[in-house]
Structure 1
Amino acid sequence: EKRKMCSLHRARGSVLVIFLLLHSATSFYLPGLAPVSFCEPGQTGKENEIFVNRLDSVESVLPYEYTAFDFCAIDSEKRPSENLGQVLFGERIEPSPYKFEFKKKVDCKPVCTKSYNTNKPEDKAHLDFLKKGMLLNYQHHWIVDNMPVTWCYDVEDGQKFCNPGFPIGCYVTEAGRPKDACVVNSDFKDKDTFYVFNHVDITIHYHVVENEAAGARLVAAKMEPKSYKHTKVEAPDCAGGPMYLNNKFSGELKIGYTYSVQFVEDTHIRWASRWDYILESMPHTNIQWFSIMNSLVIVLFLSGMVAMIMLRTLHKDIARYNQMDSVEDAQEEFGWKLVHGDVFRPPRKGMLLSVFLGSGTQIFIMMFVTLFFACLGFLSPANRGALMTCAVVLWVLLGTPAGYVAARFYKSFGGEKWKTNVLLTCFLCPGVVFADFFVMNLILWGEGSSAAMPFGTLVAILALWFCISVPLTFIGAYFGFKKTGIEHPVRTNQIPRQIPEQSFYTRSLPGIVMGGILPFGCIFIQLFFILNSIWSHQMYYMFGFLFLVFIILVITCSEATILLCYFHLCAEVRHHTHTHTILLCYFHLCAEVRHHTHTPSYSVRHHTHTHYPALLLPPLC
């Protein structure tokens, strides 16, 4: 009884210690994602500012920097540092003159006034570029506390859509039809007229932290764009009609930019879930489950076919070989075993195949690790540029597996030009991608787009490639060539079999189509959302769905490869059965003629048990 009481006290003590340790432990936050506490007005004496990002449009592939449209900007403050992924995605974050103090309400505060004179070429160029931006519906992207300032508006079925951007203006056509954001205001009705959104009403939602003595955390930042033609530009009052600009306007024009800020306390939203209201406005979950079910059906179909082949065909053949009694039956070959001496023959372009295998291994491991970290939440949209940075760094560090796989396969193919193999693994696939990237970057430079990479970033990418990836590839190739080549389970025939005329479905182009349709059917919905997030400038956050579909894709590709290989082997057997028999008879008969010319009758017992008469020997030999 005393032992039981002691054990119980020990268990209670261990639980108490663990509870105290968990209670005293501090929270862990990812780098750059730690919460920021805001203080009451006058406690810090520091204004908080809104950062601006590049402007983009779904109707154009060219993003532009904030200053390209001649908006209100400040040049005195230093731009925040950007990681490699942000630069590669074309993000250009810079400070703005839109500032506020926490819990201090601001009403119609002026920012700046832009004056244009169409008689001056420079002013006319700025005004024309602004018109082009409104015509193509270019969107602002503002950031507060590493969170996008969203424009929330009602859509069909009573739902609310929160867009992480808002337009710079809108256009009413010559026919009087409002385009894009002009439909939200009935005052925008003048024909062939542009309306500038020169005022924003910003509403910041905050949550008071209970465990801290003072301070609060921002949980949402929403805004509403408006257009005001201020009666007094020098002292704006946010009154009057909309700020319009006729397409045929000429003369002088002044546009005054203003903003208002108000704060709302929200006790329901926590800091950890402050992105939910943005992501929930994009209901893609049902479509994602449909995609996964579609992919699973394809996988089950392929698995059934592979299982049928393995169980019915291969199992019967193996059982038949195991049941052979006589030596003559054991020497007889039939079915897919007819081509066992040719399937492991080195390919004609083994160099390219090994190089592509090495580069594919590098990309496959990079994708798998990147998706795994994304599923854990390390590469969420809140951590800007982390996804691309992780992918690039992993690709650079995975040069060793690429060199090892390429060298190992090339050696198994009997190749001897190891220097060429290593250099092609280092420079072929990355060189093609970089050349394409450099040409597109030149075009973006010429267009003045913010997506153009700075020269320093290009130098950094080349340094990562040549100084890290290339040496690691050489190290992997060294160990790959040092090991013995891959041993084949059967011996390859010295004389290659004659390649017959192929059927339609065993040719290259139909085989590529057949092998690509099924994997594409598994991922096409996910691919739609990924491309939509890139070209439509939306946020992609469903990495769990993506990782699951990636696993399904790997299984589908493997099973499709097995099926296509089996179909090719079956086609080879059907076309080669008679040809193989005749060729073997030919060589056997020729050998009999050369070595047994004294034999009165010339016949050779072949493994098909067919006896050829002596009259056939002169034309055959």
Structure 2
Amino acid sequence: MAAAMVWWPRFLLLLCLTCKTSTFYVPGVAPINFHQNDPVEIKAVKLTSSRTQLPYEYYSLPFCQPNKITYKAENLGEVLRGDRIVNTPFQVLMNSEKKCEVLCGQSGKPVTLTVEQSRLVAERITEDYYVHLIADNLPVATRLELYSNNRDSDDKKKEKDVQFEHGYRLGFTDVNKIYLHNHLSFILYYHREDMEEDQEHTYRVVRFEVIPQSIRLEDLKTDEKSSCILPEGTNSSPQEIDPTKENQLYFTYSVHWEESDIKWASRWDTYLTMSDVQIHWFSIINSVVVVFFLSGILSMIIIRTLRKDIANYNKEDDIEDTMEESGWKLVHGDVFRPPQYPMILSSLLGSGIQLFCMILIVIFVAMLGMLSPSSRGALMTTACFLFMFMGVFGGFSAGRLYRTLKGHRWKKGAFCTATLYPGVVFGICFVLNCFIWGKHSSGAVPFPTMVALLCMWFGISLPLVYLGYYFGFRKQPYDNPVRTNQIPRQIPEQRWYMNRFVGILMAGILPFGAMFIELFFIFSAIWENQFYYLFGFLFLVFIILVVSCSQISIVMVYFQLCAEDYRWWWRNFLVSGGSAFYVLVYAIFYFVNKLDIVEFIPSLLYFGYTALMVLSFWLLTGTIGFYAAYMFVRKIYAAVKID
């Protein structure tokens, strides 16, 4: 099942590998060939913790440093993710073993951590920080071997289940004592490429693992050549870090190479199979069942009820029935009456169209393998630029709808469309960024990057929104099938279940039920530093979400019009985005049950960014439901005869 969903990336990678005449590769996935004893550079990315949600640079802790520190030029997505890729002093040569090497503290002298450094290291260990390294763009992973009893066997043998976690733990705690992982055993797997007899063998790195160990200073034997001897068996004690005094220790590492049958095109499979794919299939089946259930309800309404209504309304021989008409036809003279605040409504819907186009393109391109995890930051960079360029579509749809709603101030409407939603996003992110700055975290967006984002906003998005708004406002407005009366009709008293909040609860549960399982993996990728890669599943879930939101929106607007309430514009937009309320509830549940966040600033970051996610999801689903309901209303009133 998993292979069926990731065949596109493999096909593209294999296409790259089989190209002999040209060097065409998908961006970010070109292989690097190594020869015997070629240097394989080990780089550090960052330190992360799901408890604090604050990434830090690698050298924010007193790790061994090379003679010259060089930071990699990063794209926009890497900067926003808090990645600060930098070189390290690890000396790794292709297919060359190293039993034990001292990383720093030459000539047999250990490294001395000051009291302040010791306190900082101890704090990061207690906060459960992970260190992330990369070799040939492959992230390091720690192998976890879990044992479970085999119930089918009479002797109850224990089966070994191998799992991996991203990065390695900085250290661990035991009985109020803090220990640092100061020895790293690197295990690198290579694939030998088939070459002709007179050519030198080439190798490609296909996996990068590490076994972190904590070894006390007194148990390590070193010499003047920077080599060391590891203690055998259980004859060593872990390296304790006392935060109240100076600590002396060695940073050491070893390198082991193993040949692997895994080809370069499949080397990310180890990292991308850390979650159970069967759960994704269960999510898809669950979503399909929900959509079929909705389709059944909608079909019953349209085929039985709506057709009967139209047939009764179109009877011309019974004048009394025509005079005593009731239901949704009764409000035909008011159903297209412009709502309050048409400029704000059209602006929000324009931003929703902008989000919809951006998300659809990003998920589709990612499904084709163009935005795989091997292209670091590409997903977020593409999303930012696409949102800017999709402003022309958002402006066009907002301008045309604004004119349909009898609006006249198109310039002010275009400015509102270009600044309302992005302004809220930028304002919340700026406030949260100030708190991150105060913590000296690498997750803080640098000031030049923030200026660059502002320039993109006002230099790309704003002009494109104005351009689209201008052409949309000049285009012929939507043709409504019935005229609007001059005097508004009185709305009868509504039942309790027609309350707006009740409608949000009713309309939101089914679209949320169609995608809440996939939402768990998205939250894990965002808040627990996991890889999300099954964009094929996500694309199907997105299509199912669009269908379910459209269907439930049509059902809700039909019930509202049958109750002779013609104020459906704003209500339908709010009710269609009702699943965002359940996303907020799920985010609170995830925070309480899945995350171990207790401090104020991490909690503020979580709920601040969650608020942005909920707002964006509300705009997206509300826009989908609004346009589905608008087409439905125009369709049914065009099907009846109005005197």
Instruction: Report TM bin, short chain.
Output: 0.7 to 0.9
Per-residue CA distance 1:583-618 (angstroms, 9 max, x = gap): xxxxxxxxxxxxxxxxxxxxxxxxxxxxxxxxxxxx
2:426 partner SS: helix
Q: Does 1:259 align with 2:246?
A: no
Match in the other structure for 2:271? 278
Post-superposition offset of 1:470: 0.6
Contact 1:108 1:260 in 2 (8 A): yes
Post-superposition offset of 1:242: 2.8
Report the Cα distance in structure 1 between the residues aligned to 2:274 and 2:321, rounded to whole angstroms.
70
Post-superposition offset of 1:115: 4.1
Post-superposition offset of 1:247: 4.7
For 1:201-350, list aligned pairs within 5 A: 201-211=185-195, 213-214=199-200, 215-231=202-218, 235=223, 236-239=228-231, 241-245=236-240, 247=242, 250=245, 252-266=246-260, 268-283=261-276, 285-325=277-317, 333-350=325-342
Contact 1:116 1:127 in 2 (8 A): no
**Unaligned stretches of 5+ residues in structure 1:** 1-21, 118-122, 174-191, 575-621
Report the more deviating stretch, 463-472 or 105-114.
105-114
Q: Does 1:414 align with 2:406?
A: yes
Q: Does 1:548 align with 2:540?
A: yes
Contact 1:354 1:410 in 2 (8 A): yes
For 1:100-499, list aligned pairs within 5 A: 100-113=92-105, 115-116=111-112, 123-157=114-148, 158-173=160-175, 192-211=176-195, 213-214=199-200, 215-231=202-218, 235=223, 236-239=228-231, 241-245=236-240, 247=242, 250=245, 252-266=246-260, 268-283=261-276, 285-325=277-317, 333-499=325-491
Report the Cα distance in structure 2 between the residues aligned to 1:247 and 1:534, rounded to whole angstroms.
33
115 and 25 in structure 1: CA distance in 2 versus 1, 3 angstrom threshold: closer
Match in the other structure for 2:633? none
Report the Cα distance in structure 1 between the residues aligned to 2:323 and 2:479, rounded to whole angstroms.
24
Report the Cα distance in structure 1 between the residues aligned to 2:19 and 2:31, rounded to whole angstroms.
20
Give the counterpart of 1:80 among 38, 51, 72.
Answer: 72
Per-residue CA distance 1:97-134 (angstroms, 9 max, x = gap): 112111221121111146446xxxxx222111101111
Identity %: 43
Post-superposition offset of 1:332: 5.6
Report the Cα distance in structure 2 between the residues aligned to 1:246 and 1:275, rounded to whole angstroms.
35
Post-superposition offset of 1:249: 5.2
1:527 partner SS: helix
Report the Cα distance in structure 2 between the residues aligned to 1:449 and 1:332, rounded to whole angstroms.
70
Post-superposition offset of 1:500: 2.5
Post-superposition offset of 1:57: 1.2
1:319 partner SS: helix
CA radius of gyration, larger in: 1
Moved >6 Å (runs of 4+): none
How many aligned positions are there?
524
Report the Cα distance in structure 2 between the residues aligned to 1:405 and 1:23, rounded to whole angstroms.
44
Q: Does 1:32 align with 2:28?
A: yes
1:558 partner SS: helix
248 and 476 in structure 1: CA distance in 2 versus 1, 3 angstrom threshold: closer
Post-superposition offset of 1:24: 6.0
The one-letter code of the counterpart of 1:168 is L
Per-residue CA distance 1:16-66 (angstroms, 9 max, x = gap): xxxxxx98655742122110000112xxxx632200011111222111111
Report the Cα distance in structure 2 between the residues aligned to 1:211 and 1:344, rounded to whole angstroms.
72
1:62 partner SS: coil
Report the Cα distance in structure 2 between the residues aligned to 1:419 and 1:437, rounded to whole angstroms.
27
Contact 1:379 1:386 in 2 (8 A): yes
The one-letter code of the counterpart of 1:208 is R
Contact 1:160 1:281 in 2 (8 A): no
Report the Cα distance in structure 1 between the residues aligned to 2:169 and 2:186, rounded to whole angstroms.
15
Post-superposition offset of 1:316: 1.1
The one-letter code of the counterpart of 1:32 is G
Contact 1:110 1:258 in 2 (8 A): yes
Report the Cα distance in structure 1 between the residues aligned to 2:342 and 2:506, rounded to whole angstroms.
24
Report the Cα distance in structure 2 between the residues aligned to 1:573 and 1:424, rounded to whole angstroms.
29
573 and 410 in structure 1: CA distance in 2 versus 1, 3 angstrom threshold: closer
RCO higher in structure (CA 8 A, sep ≥6): 2
Post-superposition offset of 1:433: 0.1
Contact 1:161 1:282 in 2 (8 A): no
Post-superposition offset of 1:155: 1.8
For 1:584-603, list aligned pairs within 5 A: none
233 and 137 in structure 1: CA distance in 2 versus 1, 3 angstrom threshold: farther
Post-superposition offset of 1:211: 4.2
CA RMSD of superposed structures (Å): 2.1
Report the Cα distance in structure 1 between the residues aligned to 2:56 and 2:449, rounded to whole angstroms.
18
Post-superposition offset of 1:234: 5.8
**Unaligned stretches of 5+ residues in structure 2:** 1-17, 149-159, 567-643
Contact 2:291 2:548 in 1 (8 A): yes
Report the Cα distance in structure 2 between the residues aligned to 1:505 and 1:247, rounded to whole angstroms.
63
400 and 204 in structure 1: CA distance in 2 versus 1, 3 angstrom threshold: same
256 and 170 in structure 1: CA distance in 2 versus 1, 3 angstrom threshold: same
Q: Does 1:517 align with 2:518?
A: no
Report the Cα distance in structure 1 between the residues aligned to 2:463 and 2:510, rounded to whole angstroms.
38
Report the Cα distance in structure 2 between the residues aligned to 1:101 and 1:335, rounded to whole angstroms.
79
Post-superposition offset of 1:345: 0.6
Contact 1:335 1:573 in 2 (8 A): no
Match in the other structure for 2:581? none
Contact 1:519 1:556 in 2 (8 A): yes
Report the more deviating stretch, 23-32 or 269-278.
23-32
Report the Cα distance in structure 2 between the residues aligned to 1:529 and 1:90, rounded to whole angstroms.
21
Contact 1:217 1:271 in 2 (8 A): yes
Contact 2:491 2:565 in 1 (8 A): no
Match in the other structure for 1:606? none
Report the Cα distance in structure 2 between the residues aligned to 1:35 and 1:492, rounded to whole angstroms.
65
The one-letter code of the counterpart of 1:276 is D
The one-letter code of the counterpart of 2:28 is G
The one-letter code of the counterpart of 1:351 is M
Match in the other structure for 1:176? none
Post-superposition offset of 1:546: 0.6
Report the more deviating stretch, 322-331 or 220-229.
322-331
Contact 2:186 2:253 in 1 (8 A): yes
Report the more deviating stretch, 479-488 or 224-233.
224-233
What TM-score do the two structures reach when normalised by structure 2?
0.78
The one-letter code of the counterpart of 1:272 is A
Report the Cα distance in structure 1 between the residues aligned to 2:222 and 2:509, rounded to whole angstroms.
63
